[in-house]
Structure 1
Amino acid sequence: MAEQDMNQEQDGSNRSDSSMPSFSSIPQTQPPSGSLLDAAINQLLRERPSQVDSNYTFEYRELRDINLVQHAPTECKSGDTLIIVNFPQGYKNCKWKAWSSKRFHAHSKNLLATGSKVFAHLFSPEEQARIRKRVGDSLPQKYVLDLTPSVEGDELAAQLIELSLPPGVRDWWTSKERLGIPQYLVSGHDDHCPLHTQVLIGCQKTDKYVEHQMGREEELPKIDLAHITIPESRIILDYCPIRHRANIIRLILAIQGHDLVLNSAPRVYTLTGIAHILDCTSIIRDSVYTWLMTESNTEFIDINAEAAFKMAWTLELANVTRAAFRILVVERAFDTLSIEPRAEEARYTIFGRPRVDLPDDLQTVVQYAALKLVERVQQTLGKLKSDQFYDLLEISEYQKLVRTGELILNACQKTDQPGHTEIKELSGLCMALLNKLLEYKTRIVHEAMATPLCNNLQRDYDRDRRCYIPETSWNPTSHIYSKFSDAQRLLTPNFWEELASYPYTYTRACYPDQFLGDAIDRFNTQMDKALHYLPATGRHFNLAEFRKQLNIALEDLWVIWTKPNLETPLTRTRHMLLALSEDEFQYLPLWAGGLDDGTGGVFEPTVPDADLGPIGPGPAYRTGETVATDCSSICQSDKTPSDVSTVTLTAGRSLAAVHSNAVPTTVNDGVSTNTMSTSSIVMVDEVNELDDESDDAFEFDDSDEISEEAWSQVEEP
Structure 2
Amino acid sequence: MMKSLAAAKMSSSVYPFTSREEVKRRNARAVKAFDLQRLEIRSLKYSNFDDNGGDVLAVVTFDQESDRGCACDGAPWPDVQIRMSRDKLLSLGSSKIAGMFDDRRQRLYRRRWGSKSLPPGIEYILDFTPPSEGAELADLTAALWLPRMVKLWFLAGHYEPNEVLAIGPDPTGFQTRPLANMAVGAVLALGHDDICKAPNCPLDFSYWEVQTVPGIVGDDSPSSQSAPRHIPDFRKVDDYCRIRHRAAVMRVLHAINGKDLLLNSATRMWTVAQVAIYLEVPNVVVGPVTQWLLAEPNTKFMEICPEKAYQLALALRIPGVLIHTFKIMVNENAIDLATTNPSPRLPPVTWAQRRRDDYGDFPSDAIEYASRAMVERMSANLAMLRADDVFERLPVKIGEWEKMRHLGALIEQFPACDLKSAYNALSEATIAAFHGLVGRTLEFRLPDNYFGDLLRYQRTHYVPESELLDLADLYKKLEATQRSLTPFFWESLRRADVIVAFGSSFYNGKTLSMLATEFKDLLWEARDILKLSGHHMDMDMYTFQNTVMFDHTKFFAQLMSAVKVLCLDILHPKTDELSELSGLRYVLSDHLLLTLDEKEMNYLPLWAGGLDDGSGGVFQDAIPPAEMGPSEPGPGYHTGYTIASETDTETMGYASTTTPSDLGFGGLDIGDTSTVRSMDAEQSASSGLPRNRVIAAPSVSSETFSADYAEYADAMFLVPAHHQAHGQALASYVENYGDHDAASQITESATMTATDMEDGSSEEAQGDEDMEFFFEDDMDLSDDGSSTLDGFEDASDDSATLS
TM, length-normalised to structure 2: 0.63
- Label 1:499 to 1:77 Cα distance change in 2 as closer, same or farther (>3 A): closer
Write out aligned runs for 1:257-296 (5 A).
257-296=258-297
Determine which of 427, 431, 436 is the counterpart of 2:429: 436
- Label 1:576 to 1:155 Cα distance change in 2 as closer, same or farther (>3 A): same
Q: Counterpart of 2:235 in structure 1: which amino acid?
A: R
Q: CA deviation at 1:358?
A: 1.9
Per the alignment, in what secondary structure is the counterpart of residue 284 of structure 2? helix
- Report whether the alignment pairs 1:186 with 2:189: yes
Asked whether the equivalents of residues 188 and 264 of structure 1 are also in contact (C-alpha less than 8 Å), the reply is yes
Determine which of 550, 556, 560 is the counterpart of 1:541: 550
Per the alignment, in what secondary structure is the counterpart of residue 599 of structure 1? coil
Determine which of 131, 143, 148 is the counterpart of 2:124: 143
Q: CA deviation at 1:322?
A: 1.0
Asked whether the equivalents of residues 55 and 86 of structure 2 are also in contact (C-alpha less than 8 Å), the reply is yes
Determine which of 564, 568, 593 is the counterpart of 1:555: 564
Task: Give the Cα–Cα distance (whole angstroms) in 2 for the partners of residues 74 and 347 of structure 1.
Answer: 49
For CA contacts below 8 A with separation 6 or more, give which structure has more relative contact order.
1
Write out aligned runs for 1:223-622 (5 A).
228-339=229-340, 345-361=346-362, 364-393=365-394, 394-410=397-413, 412-413=414-415, 424-456=417-449, 457-503=451-497, 506=500, 516-534=512-530, 535-537=533-535, 538-563=547-572, 565=576, 566=579, 567=582, 568-609=584-625
Mind listing any 5+ residue stretches in structure 1 that lack a counterpart? 1-51, 210-219, 414-422, 620-717
Asked whether the equivalents of residues 89 and 98 of structure 1 are also in contact (C-alpha less than 8 Å), the reply is no
Task: Give the Cα–Cα distance (whole angstroms) in 1 for the partners of residues 285 and 358 of structure 2.
Answer: 24
Deviations 1:181-231 (A, max 9, x none): 11111111111114363583357768xx7xxxxxxxxxx989998665211
Task: Give the Cα–Cα distance (whole angstroms) in 1 for the partners of residues 316 and 185 of structure 2.
Answer: 23
Aligned to 1:121: 99
- Label 1:372 to 1:578 Cα distance change in 2 as closer, same or farther (>3 A): same
Shifted more, 460-469 versus 479-488: the winner is 460-469
Per the alignment, in what secondary structure is the counterpart of residue 458 of structure 2? helix
- Label 1:283 to 1:466 Cα distance change in 2 as closer, same or farther (>3 A): same
Q: Counterpart of 1:452 in structure 2: which amino acid?
A: R
- Report whether the alignment pairs 1:60 with 2:35: yes
- Label 1:469 to 1:509 Cα distance change in 2 as closer, same or farther (>3 A): farther
- Report whether the alignment pairs 1:161 with 2:116: no
Aligned to 2:726: none
Q: CA deviation at 1:351?
A: 1.2
Aligned to 1:689: none
Q: CA deviation at 1:83?
A: 0.7
Asked whether the equivalents of residues 503 and 512 of structure 1 are also in contact (C-alpha less than 8 Å), the reply is no
Q: CA deviation at 1:56?
A: 8.1
Task: Give the Cα–Cα distance (whole angstroms) in 1 for the partners of residues 185 and 437 of structure 2.
Answer: 46
Task: Give the Cα–Cα distance (whole angstroms) in 2 for the partners of residues 539 and 142 of structure 1.
Answer: 94
Per the alignment, in what secondary structure is the counterpart of residue 297 of structure 1? coil
Per the alignment, in what secondary structure is the counterpart of residue 83 of structure 1? strand
Aligned to 1:78: 53
Q: CA deviation at 1:120?
A: 2.5
Q: CA deviation at 1:364?
A: 2.3
Task: Give the Cα–Cα distance (whole angstroms) in 1 for the partners of residues 404 and 626 of structure 2.
Answer: 36
Per the alignment, in what secondary structure is the counterpart of residue 377 of structure 2? helix
Q: Counterpart of 2:418 in structure 1: which amino acid?
A: E
Aligned to 1:702: none
Per the alignment, in what secondary structure is the counterpart of residue 158 of structure 2? helix
Determine which of 208, 212, 227 is the counterpart of 1:201: 208
- Label 1:442 to 1:458 Cα distance change in 2 as closer, same or farther (>3 A): same
Q: CA deviation at 1:502?
A: 2.5
Asked whether the equivalents of residues 169 and 266 of structure 1 are also in contact (C-alpha less than 8 Å), the reply is yes
Task: Give the Cα–Cα distance (whole angstroms) in 2 for the partners of residues 363 and 240 of structure 1.
Answer: 33
Task: Give the Cα–Cα distance (whole angstroms) in 1 for the partners of residues 381 and 254 of structure 2.
Answer: 54
Task: Give the Cα–Cα distance (whole angstroms) in 2 for the partners of residues 441 and 152 of structure 1.
Answer: 68
Task: Give the Cα–Cα distance (whole angstroms) in 2 for the partners of residues 560 and 276 of structure 1.
Answer: 39
Per the alignment, in what secondary structure is the counterpart of residue 263 of structure 2? coil
Asked whether the equivalents of residues 95 and 196 of structure 1 are also in contact (C-alpha less than 8 Å), the reply is no
Q: Counterpart of 2:605 in structure 1: which amino acid?
A: P
Q: CA deviation at 1:356?
A: 1.5
Task: Give the Cα–Cα distance (whole angstroms) in 2 for the partners of residues 464 and 362 of structure 1.
Answer: 34
Task: Give the Cα–Cα distance (whole angstroms) in 2 for the partners of residues 173 and 103 of structure 1.
Answer: 31
Task: Give the Cα–Cα distance (whole angstroms) in 2 for the partners of residues 165 and 312 of structure 1.
Answer: 17
Residue identity over aligned pairs, in percent, reads: 31
Q: Counterpart of 1:440 in structure 2: which amino acid?
A: A
Task: Give the Cα–Cα distance (whole angstroms) in 2 for the partners of residues 508 and 85 of structure 1.
Answer: 76
Task: Give the Cα–Cα distance (whole angstroms) in 1 for the partners of residues 477 and 275 of structure 2.
Answer: 44
Per the alignment, in what secondary structure is the counterpart of residue 473 of structure 1? coil
Q: CA deviation at 1:69?
A: 1.0
Write out aligned runs for 1:2-13 (5 A).
none
Q: CA deviation at 1:154?
A: 1.7
Write out aligned runs for 1:94-109 (5 A).
94-109=72-87
Q: Counterpart of 1:317 in structure 2: which amino acid?
A: I
Q: Counterpart of 1:165 in structure 2: which amino acid?
A: L
Q: Counterpart of 2:189 in structure 1: which amino acid?
A: V
Task: Give the Cα–Cα distance (whole angstroms) in 1 for the partners of residues 345 and 445 of structure 2.
Answer: 25
Which protein shows a greater Rg? 2
Per the alignment, in what secondary structure is the counterpart of residue 98 of structure 1? coil
Asked whether the equivalents of residues 445 and 476 of structure 2 are also in contact (C-alpha less than 8 Å), the reply is yes
Asked whether the equivalents of residues 336 and 342 of structure 2 are also in contact (C-alpha less than 8 Å), the reply is yes
Asked whether the equivalents of residues 31 and 208 of structure 2 are also in contact (C-alpha less than 8 Å), the reply is no
Task: Give the Cα–Cα distance (whole angstroms) in 2 for the partners of residues 347 and 506 of structure 1.
Answer: 43
Shifted more, 519-528 versus 464-473: the winner is 519-528
Task: Give the Cα–Cα distance (whole angstroms) in 1 for the partners of residues 359 and 371 of structure 2.
Answer: 15
Q: Counterpart of 2:405 in structure 1: which amino acid?
A: V
Q: CA deviation at 1:458?
A: 2.3
Number of paired residues? 545
Asked whether the equivalents of residues 503 and 512 of structure 2 are also in contact (C-alpha less than 8 Å), the reply is no
- Label 1:122 to 1:221 Cα distance change in 2 as closer, same or farther (>3 A): closer
Deviations 1:291-331 (A, max 9, x none): 11112111111101111111111111111101101111111
Per the alignment, in what secondary structure is the counterpart of residue 72 of structure 1? coil
- Label 1:369 to 1:512 Cα distance change in 2 as closer, same or farther (>3 A): farther
Task: Give the Cα–Cα distance (whole angstroms) in 1 for the partners of residues 266 and 76 of structure 2.
Answer: 24
TM, length-normalised to structure 1: 0.70
- Label 1:360 to 1:515 Cα distance change in 2 as closer, same or farther (>3 A): farther
- Label 1:383 to 1:504 Cα distance change in 2 as closer, same or farther (>3 A): closer
Aligned to 2:756: none
Aligned to 2:730: none
Q: CA deviation at 1:607?
A: 4.0
Shifted more, 96-105 versus 295-304: the winner is 96-105
Deviations 1:510-562 (A, max 9, x none): 69999632222222222222123212442211334323332232222222222
Shifted more, 99-108 versus 487-496: the winner is 99-108
